[in-house]
Amino acid sequence: MAGMSSILPSRAAKSQNPPIGSNESRREDWRKAKELEEARKAGTAPALTDEEGKDINPHIPQYIATVPWYVGIDHPTLRHQRQPEESIEHFNKLGDWYKKGVSEVISTKFRKGACANCGSMTHKKKDCVERPRKVGARFTGDQIAPDEHLQPNLHLDYDGKRDRWNGYDPQEHERVIQEFAKVEEAKKHLKVKKLYDDMLSGEAKEQQHQDGGSEDEEDEDKYADNFDMPGTNFDSKRRITVRNLRIREDTAKYLRNLDPNSAYYDPKTRSMRKNPYVDLGKPEEHLEFAGENFVRSSGDTLRMASAQMFAWDAERKGTDVHLQADPTKLELLQTQFTTKKEDFKEKQKSSILDKYGGAEHLDAPPRELLLAQTEDYVEYSKHGTLIKGLEKAKAKSRYEEDVYINNHTSIWGSFWKNGSWGYCCCHSMVKMSYCVGEAGRSARESSAPLALMAPGQEEEEEEEPVKSLMEQHKEKLQSESLKKKEKKNKKKKKNKKKSKKVESSSSSSSSSSESEDEEKIRQEKIQKAIKEQAQQEREAERLLKIDERKRPYNSVASISSFKEPTEEEMEAFRMKRKRSDDPMAQFL
């Protein structure tokens, strides 16, 4: 009880001044001390004060407020419950820790009292962990080992002793991250190399298959056990595969349709029997999830359901059979029943055909053959245009086709002239206009061709025919030869008239001869470029087959030229380029 130590006599006082009187006086003193304590708790009496003049809370328990006899304090105080300030100053800080490692300063000669083997001052020869030398450092004075850091005597407080991260170096985590980054980078390189090897092996297998040396295909089912399905993990101790409840790619069933009136979701069993997309009108074959009843009506479920129905019908008719108790017997009975039923139907069908006829109408080819490949011959040209046969009909869109307005026989936008669109049937440039046919076209062409043009436009010039590369090259050579001749004419200022006459007579003959020579040179350059291109392709294929770690330095850079290709190289590329859009390219 609070304050009782100050009122009741202590043990020392009892021993020095023994109480005089009977037990009744002691009970009276005890009763008064009790009443005083209750008054202090109620606040009617002043509280006890310590040596500093601070009030002592009367509600503090007695075992805390009572001063032990061995402390030697005979007045009310709480100092015995506080930590001495002198001891706090002796504690180390929270970040202090034992210093490990060796000092950076290394001695160059042997010191008195050091290890006779390595020369370090922090241990003796019997505690040395280095390799025993044939002649110790005490006698040679060479290769003096550095001194270890002396471990300080740390006085850690309560928190410092229990801090699990005290003395941890954050740079250690940086080294761990760098190590993991190097491992990840090495994994990436290995993965790229594996993909590259698989690609080369796949190309080799394809080439072997094309040559006719392909072997029997391996059965893929025997490798199915080596692959893990997504969302599963294999327990090697129990030898079972555990299916996780959810994987990252799964969508919760209750999120399929957020309408509260849609299919019911049972949260306890996590099941949704019905299709949540019934109200949306989506077909079930195009849905990712169509309810669990949809899954139950596929696979062997239907066969098991039919077997169960057959067992119930057979038991109702007097045959003792059960699906779970005797499945083999049920299977045999169902097979016999199905065979007899089909034979009966076949006999009934043949009897009807014999009586009434019409068997020739049942010999039509099946629907799969009617909609599959046919023997219709279709021939295409080298450019992909139809030569012989009927082209496959184009699929119609959902929009109405072959519907024209205002007596038109073509759609708006089928005719273009001078930057404006119109109708092809009457050449009218006014949208939604009435078609007058050929009369309107002839009237517009004869009467006012300029009126149909937009302001600031002139009549469209006739398009020049597209020239081939050979003709363009000849024109280029002729223009270059003319430029050279003009330069020669400028130098000859004195003989202008004579040079003009000579050039006019000899220009035709010289230009033709020069163009033929240059054409021969150009063809030779093209053939040379084709050979170089083929050689580069062979060299590239050879380097690709070599492991990239064994390739010579700058081997790829030597193949791929970084200079601008010449006109002959471009012509060689066009001649050897594969045209995948050409339907006759595979027959060339």
pLDDT in tens, 526-535: 888 888 888 8
**Residue 121 covered by a domain:** yes
- Look up the pTM and report it: 0.23
**Residue 92 covered by a domain:** no
**Residue 311 covered by a domain:** yes
**Residue 426 covered by a domain:** yes
Has residue 489 got a pLDDT over 80?
no
Same domain for 11 and 77?
yes
Same domain for 46 and 109?
no
What's the helix, strand, coil split of the chain in %, to 5? Answer: 45, 5, 50
Mean pLDDT of 296-304: 77
Do 397 and 426 meet the contact criterion of CB atoms below 8 Å apart? no
Do 394 and 387 meet the contact criterion of CB atoms below 8 Å apart? no
Give the integer Cα–Cα distance in Å for 253 and 290.
10
pLDDT the model gives residue 388 = 80
Residue that finishes a domain, picked among 26, 54, 82: 82
At 226, the pLDDT band (50, 70, 90 cuts) reads: low
Give the integer Cα–Cα distance in Å for 226 and 269.
31
- Between the alpha carbon of residue 390 and those of residues 23, 369, 555, the distances in Å are 134, 19, 53
Domain that holds residue 20: 4-82
Of all residues in the chain, what percent carry a pLDDT higher than 90?
Answer: 23
Same domain for 76 and 131?
no
Same domain for 17 and 74?
yes
Residue that finishes a domain, picked among 120, 148, 176: 148
Give the integer Cα–Cα distance in Å for 70 and 314.
100
**Residue 428 covered by a domain:** yes
At 498, the pLDDT band (50, 70, 90 cuts) reads: low
pLDDT digits (tens, 9 = 90+) for 170-222: 888 999 999 999 999 999 999 999 988 888 887 666 666 665 544 444 454 44
Same domain for 403 and 347?
no
Has residue 348 got a pLDDT over 80?
yes
**Residue 481 covered by a domain:** no
Same domain for 34 and 61?
yes
Same domain for 586 and 525?
yes
Residue that finishes a domain, picked among 82, 111, 135: 82
**Residue 490 covered by a domain:** no
* Residue 185 in tokens: 């980078």
Same domain for 68 and 128?
no
**Residue 328 covered by a domain:** yes
Do 499 and 492 meet the contact criterion of CB atoms below 8 Å apart? yes
Among 124-138, 250-264, 496-510, the range scoring the smallest mean pLDDT is 496-510
Q: What is the number of domains present in the chain?
A: 5
